[in-house]
Chains A and B, each alone.
Chain A
Amino acid sequence: STVVLVFEAPHNFDFFVSSGQKVKVGQKLGDV
């Protein structure tokens, strides 16, 4: 199963993950 998020955010939105990284619920994905 997969979850896809598509969202609008300001230009300065940054992801704090890398491809292939394991994540858990509530872990920081990105921030403005």
Chain B
Amino acid sequence: LVDAWQNTPTKWYPLPIAAGALLLVVLQYRKKSIAREVVVNEDGQEIIRLKGPWHVHVIGALPLRNLSRVWGYLNSLELPVWLRPVGFRVYARIFGCDLEEIDPQDLTQYASLGEFFYRKLKDGARPIADAVLVSPADGRVLHFGVIKNGRIEQVKGSTYSLDALLGVARPGSPAPAAVEFPNQKMAEVNHRHFAEINGIEYSLQDLLGTSTPSSSGTSTPTVETSSSDRDGAAQTGASAKKHGERVDASVPRDQSTTEAVAQDVSMATEVGLRPTAARRDSFTSVRTKPGNETFFVVIYLAPGDYHRFHSPAAWVVERRRHFVGDLFSVSPWMAKRLENLFVLNERVALLGRWKHGFFSMVPVGATNVGSIKVNFDQALRTNVGSRRGHPVGTFTEAVYSAASPILNGQPLIKGEEMGGFCLG
């Protein structure tokens, strides 16, 4: 072999131009056909499947959710006090954390790596810019732009469906079907529709799926809580979910009604939305304004980054949709290889509105950070239980109408802390 390797002469032959051109055509055709391949079921709805090279399928075969929970458990173990400063400094060195900006700075006060990972920052460490849209998190901008044909570009040449990401239906797509899971008695709505976006002339009602209960014929009433029983909102929500009702997961406010209304009005002014008691059904009439477009931006948080997320704008969160899914890594390496990554993974779609119309924010989990926290949502539990029984595209929904009856949602100001990602 050594002799053959060293002494065999290399002879170069010219490849016929036609053969080269043919090869290029075949490769290009194959690339395009893979990119456009949309598997649909008998109802014409897109089926999201694991697509990618062989190593993606190998990773997909791993019990990622279980691994994530084991990882979370290990990182919740209390570390000896003497080990904490050394351990966290090593971690900070490896992943590039700035220990000068954390609060508290005394590293012995973080009992575990999980606590350190979910660290707070000092007041004023992140000044909020004077712009309508600011970054919700520390990280790296993966991609941004205008949404065309209802597809968001994950990486160049690879897209995923906006409908699948948010669980929305568009005009022309079949009526969403309410799926009752006998084991859980939980109303979950299947919104795996794929249809061409109809310009910008779609109603917010369709975009947010507010017509789901009536269109499906299944009763999923909103759990309304009065000011007197808001304290029991979490319990009400838990009970309501079991009965297939939509949960009001708002955090109750400890204020008199007059104060609450005054605060709502003040907040409405700040958010740039007109306060009105009729906001509950505003999505049945408000349409996307002519002259508007739908934009997107994707921000990736590396392991060393500050892992809490803040409000990127002044807006009102009206509902959240929790999609139980896989927990693939969302690193740029994986994003380049696994199609529909952000649609396959577990995520929480927070839907609402800002002064320019529709607004949504979707924290997407990953293997190391499968748990997503939302500060104003007591009922949300992520990365628990099995993924079985939760087909891709189904979600559980909660509304936040009790947080502010006037604004019909949870009002947020720009830069306000909303929640974060926890290890495991």
Contacts and interface: CB of A to CB of B under 8 A. Distances in A.
A11 B369 CA distance: 35
Contacts of B393: none
Interface residues of B, number: 64
27 contacts: A1-B330, A1-B364, A2-B139, A2-B366, A3-B137, A4-B296, A5-B296, A5-B297, A6-B152, A6-B165, A6-B294, A6-B360, A7-B354, A7-B360, A8-B200, A9-B356, A17-B144, A18-B141, A20-B141, A21-B140, A23-B138, A23-B139, A25-B126, A25-B136, A25-B310, A30-B132, A31-B133
B330 A2 contact: yes
Contacts of A9: 132-133, 292-293, 295, 356-357
B133 A30 contact: yes
B293 A29 contact: no
Interface in B337-359: 342, 354, 356-359
Interface residues of A, number: 30
B359 A25 contact: no
Nearest to B331: A2
Given A1-B300, A4-B299, A5-B133, 5 more contacts: A1-B330, A9-B292, A15-B144, A19-B143, A27-B129
Nearest to B366: A1
A3 B141 contact: no
Contacts of A21: 140-141
Nearest to A16: B131
Contacts of B138: 23-25
Contacts of A4: 152, 165, 296-299, 342, 361-362, 364
Contacts of B152: 4, 6
Nearest to B204: A8
B411 interface: no
B131 A28 contact: yes
Interface string B78-119: 000000000000000000000000000000000000000000
